[in-house]
Chain A
């Protein structure tokens, strides 16, 4: 551990905290003022953009929209032989990998059983995957705004209009920022070209083929939209995706920028900035602790290093320019958000160093979380916390002046338990059945960890992996002789679809339920939800649900390995 490493973490926290109110305010203005984009949406989508939608209507729009995009992306993947901008003449990936990949990108997960430079044409990367990076992010943010409207509404049951919200998100937020961000990245060395792979003649006398592509444009929205899918297989460890220490810091900031900002958007839209800061504080506290643990853990040699007589920090699976500090920070940021990009190998992290990313995801991706989905996921935990507090003190639970009644509690229970249940079920199935063990790469507890990580990541729409776990085998580094591991591809795809859309629908239902409620003004007996006490209660609720469910799995896998020097 170095002073510079800790200083980087402190600087990151400071920058994120400073930009949160600015982004929060901007986003609030985007969705609460009517302007040219509203009229543009009506011109493009017609009557559909004029409807004031109930939660059911909004949810249906999301589903139809996403289903059609799934179909389009699947079609793009399966017709790669027809694509322009296909420098290495790649064929189409098989149906099972395509299913997993289409489900993955539509759900903002960006889980990649494939490596980009040996599987996808430039056309797929741009017109298939980058599009989903934008659109899935826009859906997440739109749903969050709709849910917030439900919390904030004093009359009526409308949660807004899906088509207007998505169009606004793309045209007023994601696209303009991405043009600037992508060009910044190019200035720092990220590659952005439609040219072929290039062959260079190395100093030692050999040839090196260097894969290229339109990377910077994808990289920026990949992080800003908490997507995480890399252009290349090694993701943001690749120098063409993340060339220096500045791009690394900026990309990290961009991952949490909108999720953090939305806490203040929420606060503003419900008339209490303090409420927004309380949610932010809960998230930030957990994030800082998680980051610190990873940094400390990675600073020591691993059991394998000990056995080889080596001292020093765990540089296995890390690039020099990021070192221990910036790799640890990245590992934490990418798993508290549902991003899943990596600048180091997750599988090579130490026992405790690897347990933290896993645990981060197991909280349900509500510590900042994905763009939009983190906020509405956290709001479900807020209601759960309020409910638990109400039980403890014997009062009717209420939040922002609205009574939390049986219907809301049932929806919240479903919303907070659905994904953990899916993680457990899918992991158990994959471990029990021989088709599941085909994917495992490392021996011993690490193999167990790989499986748990895979389904935790996919069901929580994260997308990072202990990358030894396979779902696609390319014996010749292309698609022609490749085959998918159907079990892993399908189970993962279903986990991702479930993990994205079930909580999304439930959150909208909660928003719809609250929208119609009367607001009672605050009295002397009302429990305050913008105090440090509440922040602690909220953190406790999130950790309780995650830990109770997953502590056994964590001990059997990463923590167990962290406690011993034994080799497997």
Chain B
């Protein structure tokens, strides 16, 4: 055991410097130079204000003229993420889902309960999911078009323009709520 003390001590210093400082600093350096926007968080500006990140969802509750994001157990806090952690048989979850569904139906009248898309009433894993499903967007489009007095077909077009596609057939496409809402505002300027 004694024969290992010195070489191990050297190893822990050497490996910490190489893997824990040189490597991440190198990646940061190259990343910031070659992909500066992405490396800094894909922030989005409107005029001169930073209004969010392309990758991070936001809360739009209370503003019916905007497309609404998915329910989030953290209220779209991006500096302290956590899961809902309600198991599939939890009564608490059933109550949450019922309440979310009631709210969704109230906001988007004319929908049947059994047609509500699953993502519209369930919480996301990250709590800052930037996307909603296309189905949910189509349902919300009616309300948004009415509140903004826009053509429904134009709103649908904007949905398509602001959908993040999937790579080949992996995963699912998602409508980027922030980008869509920014596009809507721009349209009506």
Residues of A that sit less than 8 Å from B by CB: 3-4, 7-8, 11, 44-46, 48-49, 60-61, 63-65, 68-69, 72, 115, 117-118, 126-128, 130-131, 134-135, 163, 166, 170, 175, 178-179, 182-183, 186-195, 197-198, 200-204, 206, 208-212, 214, 216-218, 232-234, 237-240, 243-246, 248-249, 301-305, 307-323, 325-327, 342-345, 347-351, 353-354, 441-446, 449, 466-468, 477, 561-562, 564-568
* CB-based contact A217/B58 at 8 Å: no
Supplied contacts A186-B34, A564-B89, 5 more A-B pairs, CB within 8 Å: A61-B4, A204-B58, A304-B90, A309-B98, A351-B88
- A246: chain B residues at CB < 8 Å are 167, 170
Report A560 CB to chain B, min CB distance, Å: 9
- B53: chain A residues at CB < 8 Å are 200, 210, 239
For residue B125, CB closer than 8 A to chain A, the reply is yes
A212-B41, A304-B88, A566-B89 known; A319-B28 Cβ under 8 A: no
Instruction: Provide the bound-state CA to CA distance between A308 and B96, in Å.
Output: 9
- B4: chain A residues at CB < 8 Å are 48, 60-61, 64-65
- A567: chain B residues at CB < 8 Å are 89-91, 94
Report B124 CB to chain A, min CB distance, Å: 5
Instruction: Provide the bound-state CA to CA distance between A323 and B59, in Å.
Output: 21
Q: Which residue of A lies closest to B121 (CB)?
A: A310
* CB-based contact A210/B41 at 8 Å: yes
- B79: chain A residues at CB < 8 Å are 117-118, 197, 209-211, 477
* CB-based contact A46/B20 at 8 Å: no
* CB-based contact A72/B122 at 8 Å: no
Chain B: residues with Cβ within 8 Å of the partner, total of: 104
* CB-based contact B174/A310 at 8 Å: no
Which residues of B1-17 have CB atoms within 8 Å of chain A's CB atoms? Answer: 1, 3-12, 14-16
- A202: chain B residues at CB < 8 Å are 51-52, 58-59
Max chain B C-beta neighbours (<10 A), residue from A46, A208, A322: A208
* CB-based contact B9/A68 at 8 Å: yes
Within 8 Å by CB of B90, from A115, A239, A565, A568, lies A568
Instruction: Provide the bound-state CA to CA distance between A131 and B80, in Å.
Output: 24
Within 8 Å by CB of B63, from A193, A204, A305, A562, lies A204
For residue B140, CB closer than 8 A to chain A, the reply is no
Instruction: Provide the bound-state CA to CA distance between A344 and B83, in Å.
Output: 9
Instruction: Provide the bound-state CA to CA distance between A195 and B78, in Å.
Output: 15
- B82: chain A residues at CB < 8 Å are 115, 233-234, 467
- B166: chain A residues at CB < 8 Å are 4, 244-245, 321
Report A9 CB to chain B, min CB distance, Å: 10
- A350: chain B residues at CB < 8 Å are 88
Instruction: Provide the bound-state CA to CA distance between A445 and B87, in Å.
Output: 9
Report A168 CB to chain B, min CB distance, Å: 13
Within 8 Å by CB of B89, from A178, A345, A477, A561, lies A561
